[in-house]
Amino acid sequence: MCLLSPFWNRLHREKLDFEAKMRYILCMIEGLSAAISGMQLSALRMDISANDVANVNTPGYEQSDLIQVERSPGAAVGTIRRTPNPNPQLSGTDLAREFGSEMTVAQTSYSANLKAIRAQDQMLGTLLDATG
């Protein structure tokens, strides 16, 4: 796991050797990778939700869900699962769920990961300024 807060205090107190700086840069890249993975899953969640909404009047349509699984620290993957529709004459899309939670979760997650990327960008800039 990458914990950066002790680094920032140390960075301003003393000069770090090249190897230590590289470890911290790799740690930050791992953080960027996690945020990018999260943004990709958020975009996929929004695509799935938009598809469900577009099929609200399609008889027999089965609503889709994104199942998110963490593969390793900093990497997550998603699997799309269809919810069986017991009534083939109606669509299985629940608009209240789509607009009430699915799209909200996707938007909030995307925004949070974007903030993480911006913070990582700022920290990496500080580190590169310190190494120069």
Q: Where are the domains of the chain?
A: 5-85+92-131
pLDDT of the residue at 15? 64
pLDDT of the residue at 16? 64
Residue type, 23: R
Report which of residues 127 and 38 the model is more confident about: 38
pLDDT of the residue at 42? 92
Q: Return the residue matching tokens 């090249």.
A: 18
The phi, psi pair for 6, rounded to 5°, reads -65, -30
Label residues 18-46 b or e (16+ Cβ within 10 Å = b): eeebeebeebbebbeebbebbbebbebbb
Q: Return the residue matching tokens 């299985």.
A: 92
pLDDT in tens, 50-81: 999 999 999 999 999 999 887 776 677 888 99
Of the candidates 63, 67, 70, 126, the residue with the CA atom closest to the CA atom of residue 94: 63
Is residue 130 very low, low, confident or very high in pLDDT (cuts 50, 70, 90)?
low
* DSSP type of residue 89: T
Please give the model's pTM, rounded to 2 decimal places. Answer: 0.72
pLDDT in tens, 3-35: 455 555 555 555 667 777 777 777 777 778 888
